Amino acid sequence: MEPAYASSALLPSLFRVTRARRETSDSVTLELAARDGDTWFPFRAGQFNMLYAFGIGEVPISISGDPTAPETLVHTIRAVGSVTRALCDMKKGDIVGVRGPFGSSWPVEHAQGRDVVVVAGGIGLPPVRPILYEVLAHRSLYGRLILLYGSRTPEDLVFPKELERWRARLDVDVQVTVDTAARGWRGNVGFVTTLVPRAPFSPENAVAFVCGPELMMRFAATELQRRGLAPRDIHISMERNMKCGVGLCGHCQCGPLFMCKDGPVFALPAVQRFLTIREL
């Protein structure tokens, strides 16, 4: 079955905001529906769309919804500059341009029969949320499911209600930490990487998916390897600046790799050397 919207690699399709939900003081989840026709929007966990705020600009944003329920297109956006601010200010009924889905995906199916370790920092949780949906939809095919999530403060945690729902399940291990907390916070304090050493997974039979600031991903990868995980079993999302999103402009190129087309999801050995190089 073909998706009901007309997609083109370079021409945005028009989508309408059907719901705008504030997550934190600077982040918003937008649910979108194709302006003409159905919203059926199949994607793989880890892929992104180019979202166009008309008159302002276009940015890559991961799809944060459920790949097993492609009838709703969901993105979670943190306002850091002009385009993301415009997207975060959108209200129900506003129009967004959408190109995509683009890029590589988290190799979730390769983790079948193994423990799944998801490590996310800050706004890195939305790009890995589809992994949790997918594993939970086929729960018996996977080993343990562990989510390690860190943010700057308790107020910066995205999806707090969903985190509570997952935490209440016996088949998911959710551990949350914050860098700094005021009195009253009863959870962990410290960087998300401090959760890795005591996370309950079997390193010889686990796959890790890591998303967050590059420094955090670098330290998380180091800790995961210290636990015994092979570098090939650690996957990260390289969220470098992009323009075309489809391998044409070279804006996202790192050596021989195009982050938009070959990535954004890579196994660690493919991109480890770029993690120490700041983008231009």
Q: Which does 84 bind (CB under 5 to 8 A by kind): ligand FES, ligand FAD, none?
A: ligand FAD
The two tokens of residue 144 are 């343990």
Quote the CA–CA distance of 146 and 272 in Å, as a whole number. Answer: 23
Stretch that binds ligand FAD, among 70-78, 167-175, 201-209, 222-230 (CB under 6 A): 70-78
One-letter amino acid for residue 100 of the chain: G
Q: Which of 48, 201, 209, 258 binds ligand FAD (CB under 6 A)?
A: 48
State the minimum distance, in angstroms, from the CB of residue 196 to ligand FAD. 23
| Cβ neighbours for 89, distance < 8 A, ≥ 6 positions apart | none
Alpha helices in the chain (DSSP H): 82-88, 125-137, 160-168, 214-226, 268-271
DSSP-derived pairing of the beta strands 173-178 and 253-254:
unpaired
One-letter amino acid for residue 159 of the chain: F
| Cβ neighbours for 2, distance < 8 A, ≥ 6 positions apart | none
Q: Which does 82 bind (CB under 5 to 8 A by kind): ligand FAD, ligand FES, none?
A: ligand FAD
DSSP-derived pairing of the beta strands 206-211 and 234-237:
parallel
- Smaller CB distance to ligand FES: residue 249 or 277? 249
Buried-exposed string 123-158: b where 16+ CB fall within 10 A, e elsewhere = bbbbbbbbbbbbbbeeeeebbbbbbbbbbeebebbb
* Angle 80-82-83 from CA coordinates, rounded to 5°: 90
Q: Does 96 bind ligand FAD (CB under 6 A)?
A: no
Q: Which residue is nearest to ligand FAD (CB)?
A: 81
- For 206-226, the DSSP string reads EEEEEES-HHHHHHHHHHHHH
Q: Which of 28, 44, 78, 105 binds ligand FAD (CB under 6 A)?
A: 78
Q: Which of 101, 127, 154, 212 binds ligand FAD (CB under 6 A)?
A: 127
State the minimum distance, in angstroms, from the CB of residue 31 to ligand FES. 26
Of residues 210-269, those binding ligand FES (CB under 6 A) = 242-245, 247-252, 258, 260
One-letter amino acid for residue 132 of the chain: L
- Smaller CB distance to ligand FES: residue 44 or 240? 240
**Site of tokens 């880890």:** 46
Q: Does 261 bind ligand FAD (CB under 6 A)?
A: no
Q: Which of 155, 162, 241, 248 binds ligand FAD (CB under 6 A)?
A: 241
Stretch that binds ligand FAD, among 18-26, 72-80, 128-136, 164-172 (CB under 6 A): 72-80
Which residues of the chain form contacts with ligand FAD (CB under 6 A)? 48, 57, 59-62, 76-78, 80-84, 123, 126-127, 239-242, 264
Which residues of the chain form contacts with ligand FES (CB under 6 A)? 242-245, 247-252, 258, 260
